[in-house]
Structure 1
Amino acid sequence: MFELIISQKSQYLCSGTDNSRTELRDPNWMNQLIRQYKNCTRVNGNLELTYIQNEHLNGTNPELFFSFLDHIRQITGYLLIYANEIEMITLRNLEIIWGDKQHDDIAALHISDNMNLKYVNLPKLRSKLKLPLN
């Protein structure tokens, strides 16, 4: 991650992932996810939120738990929300999904197979470029 100053606004760029629907078996993957995206404002690549279970939250309210994603404003690739068992995912400041790469070559935003998901809160999302939602 590095800092880029553009018109008096700091942007913290971070690398996205390209795992698609692959379930990671690393027991520390959630901590790695938090480290990877904490304070990140622009994801260079894809943001993949997959296989998150209630036990990963350690009893924390989902909105508080996902606060490590609060700074993300842009994603250059796609946003994948897949096979999660939690009730809510919030990306409080996400404004743009550029869709330079689409999930399965068809979608910049793909939300599917989430057993208990009731809310995907994207209050500032104003634009999704390149191809339809899935």
Structure 2
Amino acid sequence: MGAVPGVRQDGPGRNAASWIVLVMSGVLEAVWATALGRSEGFSKPAPSVVFLVAFIVSMAGLAYAMRDLSVGTAYAVWVGIGAVLTVVYAMATGDEPASLLKVAFLAMIIGSVIGLKLAH
């Protein structure tokens, strides 16, 4: 049976490019979140521009991925990737203190994102 117009097709026929775009968009979420913090309320031009560009491209990528992936899964994966990378970057630069407990919870988020991909 062929594709039904207006109905999302799940299964092996899904567009693998959507997953790649979704992961890249999640990375860009971390970029715009970090740039937003560094923009100091949009008073610094360079981080403000980085925020705006990364935000637009990240949202466009999320929208593209949602053409083939369910909204709930795509959004959860996107947020998970962005959240983990934002915290890891902040810990690596010393903006946020690192702890074993934080690393354990970040590992749980990573495991959850992988689980969502495998379950999809």
> Normalising by the residue count of structure 2, what TM-score does the alignment of the two structures yield?
0.31
> Normalising by the residue count of structure 1, what TM-score does the alignment of the two structures yield?
0.29
Q: Which has the higher strand share?
A: 1
Q: Which has the larger radius of gyration?
A: 2
Larger relative contact order, structure 1 or 2 (CA cutoff 8 Å, min sep 6): 2
